[in-house]
Chains A and B, each alone.
Chain A
Amino acid sequence: MLKIEGLTASVEGKEVLKGIDLEVPAGEVHAIMGPNGSGKSTLGYVLAGREGYEVTGGTVTFRGEDLLGKEPEERAIAGLFLAFQYPVELPGVGNANFLRQALNSVRRARGEPEVDAMQFLKLVRAKVKALGMSDEMLKRYVNVGFSGGEKKRNEILQMAVLEPAFCILDETDSGLDIDALRIVADGVNALRSPERGMLVITHYQRLLDYIVPDRVHVLLNGRIVRSGGPDLALELEEKGYGEFQEAA
């Protein structure tokens, strides 16, 4: 579903990704683990098409099409979703309006009928409830005045509404207490399906207790230095990244 080959990228002239090879088939959840500064978030942003992240080499194909030539909105329409580590506040943009605009943009691009305000509320309310959020959060401006946990839930809510084919979760566990983590993980797990791929970017193994990955990759200095099954996460938790650093 997502195939990355020899991907190199730089930020402000500094090479951060130094040749990534990674393939995530539909139905699988892969985890990317690594210490701060290893290039984890950069990988997420490069895949989502953020300005200022310059691809210097390699290819990414998503559902059989070149991904890197697409605009950010085209990637979203193609089914890619990035849950931000630091969700952006949008003062003056109502959360419900934002979600509906996003959903209708995606539906419109896919030739599906748009949903009106009433249909949308019906659809979104159930998802809001499942994520332990209140309807009141739909009326507020996007992420404005939200706690760290509320922002992360709001990311998962967007994911649940848009039902993307592929989800990238960037440090979704950071800033969450254990109850919130469980709720967010439940929300993510509910979206696991044989048609959907996921890439879970995390620093800690903790999240992977709740979202159990099929494969774990260790990212160090812009390269994947080791890949393995779910047990690799446990090994990392025990030994830390030091051993891999030596290997790299």
Chain B
Amino acid sequence: MNAPVVVPAVAPAVAALLDRHAGLKDRLPGARVAWVEAWRHRGAEAFRAGGFPTKRVEAWKYTDLSPLRETRFEEALVATDAHPALPAEAGGEEARIVLLDGRFRADLSQLDTLPDGVRIDSLAALLGVGDAALRDILGAIAPADLPLAGLNAALAEDGVVIRVAPGVAAGRVRIVSLGTAPDGHAVAFHPRNLVVLGAGASLTLLDGAHGAGKGVYWHNAVTEIALGEGARLTHVRLQDEARDAFHTALVAVRVAAKAEYDSFTLVRGARLARNEVHAVLAGPKAALHLNGAQLVDGDRHADTTTVIDHAAPECESNQTVKTVLAGRARGVFQGKIHVRQVAQKTDGYQMNQALLLSPEAEINAKPQLEIYADDVKCSHGATVGELDHDQLFYLRSRGIPEVEAKSMLVQAFLTDAVSLVSDEALRETLLAATDAWWDGVEHPA
């Protein structure tokens, strides 16, 4: 007798998004290109299988997505013509890419100054013509089984594709991603970005996600990064979404032999933020720096989850992540380092530290080391603390008001993470962002 076929029930919120995919798929860019369609289909199936992960899923144990699941977002493909002011940080002379609600906006971007060998395109345009060069990258670096990344594939309308030819020093490029919620509607957008550096190429990418208004939106971004042999990418990310926004971001990076991915992520916006990074050290002597800081206040929730896969020998990975929590904020750090058997002579370091400014704030930290090679150097540490009363009194006894003294100690706490950003101008940008965050924090009287 055949066992009855059990069809797993799909939650209504998941079903609604899958219906949206089904309804839109013929209109999404690349709809008539077989491999694009296959990529979207795989994504939709991953989302069908995983849905909105609940806290029963290990990787989401500390982050509750129900506020996101329960929000009804408007249809995609509603283009806005609004031109909100770009954030002040978006000035400067470097090349600038503007994404408005996930759409590449050539009219707002500034790409005249790119050196030869650097190509910046709209993903939609490339998918539309079925650009075969993307075929081996799109969806190939991000893990296939992550449901939100799957949803991104199923619904991505656009994004940016940055390609640097071998040996080319591309200088500095800035991405300004602006989230708006036009007419007070909640909108969701799922940009997919690709960054491909040829062998020996280099690029500094300042990657900012900003909110232009006070509305509710969901920014569900996936960035796939492939670094060729000896390439070097400095990736400074600033997450400064609107207060009521949802931000779920996946960065998936593959680092070839002798290449280096040097990143710093500052998280300071959104009501619910998940910053997930999956990095594979794929060739010998590859290097990875996954540093960052999370600044969380009020009722906000910020989650940094990273997976570092040492898949080749003699690679190095360093990670320092600091979390500052005020009010009733919740912070999460989950850091997994996986050292495969082949990855002998791995040098791994991980440090996560949290500073609690309020008795009601909470941090959940879960470092995880899985080491299958026997000749490795791996260390990790974690601390949770509050402001030091002696230090606070010392500063105040010199005339520095309490709020300012606390601000100095918060900056001091962040210093050894932020100082890992070698570009001075970018470091200043990050420090200004931490100042601005502090100014917005409610200080109990």
Check A92–B416 contact: CB distance below 8 A.
Answer: yes
Task: Please tell me which one of the listed residues A76, A90, A105 contacts residue B412 in the complex, with CB atoms under 8 A apart.
Answer: A90
B419 to chain A, nearest CB (A): 9
Does A77 sit within 8 A of B, measured CB to CB?
yes
Q: Among the interface residues A72, A77, A81, A98, which one has the most CB atoms of the partner chain B within 10 A? A: A72
Asked if B402 and A101 make an inter-chain contact with CB atoms under 8 angstroms apart, the answer reads no
Residue of B nearest to A80 (CB): B397
CB-based contact A88/B391 at 8 Å: yes
Q: Which of B389, B393, B397, B412 touches A92 (beta carbons < 8 Å)? A: B412
Q: CB-nearest residue of chain A relative to B394?
A: A88
Report how many A-B pairs have Cβ atoms within 8 Å. Answer: 76
Nearest chain B CB to A115 CB, angstrom units: 14
B352 to chain A, nearest CB (A): 17
Q: Digit string of A89-105 for contact with B (CB within 8 Å is 1, else 0)? A: 01111000010011001
Does A5 sit at the interface, judged by CB under 8 A? Answer: no
Q: Which of A49, A71, A141, A158 contacts B398 (CB 8 A)?
A: A158
Alpha-carbon distance A109/B398, docked complex (angstroms): 12
Q: Is A102 a contact partner of B394 (Cβ separation < 8 A)? A: no
Residues of chain B within 8 A of A141, CB atoms compared: 412
Give residues 36-66 of A contacting B (CB, 8 Å): 48-51
Tell me whether A105 and B404 are in contact (CB under 8 A). Answer: yes
Asked, given contacts A51-B393, A101-B404, A101-B408, whether A109 binds B413 with beta carbons under 8 Å apart, the answer is no
Interface size class of chain B, counting residues whose CB lies under 8 Å from the partner chain: 20 to 34
How many chain A residues touch B (CB < 8 A): the figure is 28
B117 interface residue per 8 A CB criterion: no
Judged by a CB distance under 8 angstroms, whether A82 is at the interface is yes
Residue of A nearest to B388 (CB): A88
Q: Tell me the complex Cα distance, A93–B415, Å.
A: 8
| Contacting pair B398 A92 (CB below 8 A) | no
| A105 & B391 in contact (Cβ 8 Å cutoff) | no
A71–B393 CA distance with the chains assembled, in angstroms? 10
Q: Is the CB of B396 within 8 A of A90?
A: no
Known: A71-B402, A91-B412, A92-B413. A76 touches B391 (CB 8 A): no
For this complex, 27 residue pairs linking A to B, each with C-beta atoms less than 8 Å apart, are A49-B396, A49-B397, A50-B397, A51-B389, A71-B402, A72-B396, A73-B396, A73-B398, A73-B401, A73-B402, A73-B405, A76-B398, A88-B393, A90-B394, A90-B395, A90-B408, A90-B409, A92-B409, A93-B409, A93-B412, A98-B398, A102-B399, A106-B398, A106-B399, A141-B412, A162-B398, A162-B399
Interface residues of B (CB under 8 A from A): 389-391, 393-402, 404-405, 408-409, 411-416
Other CB < 8 Å A-B pairs besides A73-B398, A88-B390, A91-B415, 13 of them?
A49-B396, A72-B396, A75-B397, A76-B396, A76-B399, A77-B399, A88-B391, A92-B413, A93-B408, A98-B408, A105-B399, A105-B400, A106-B398
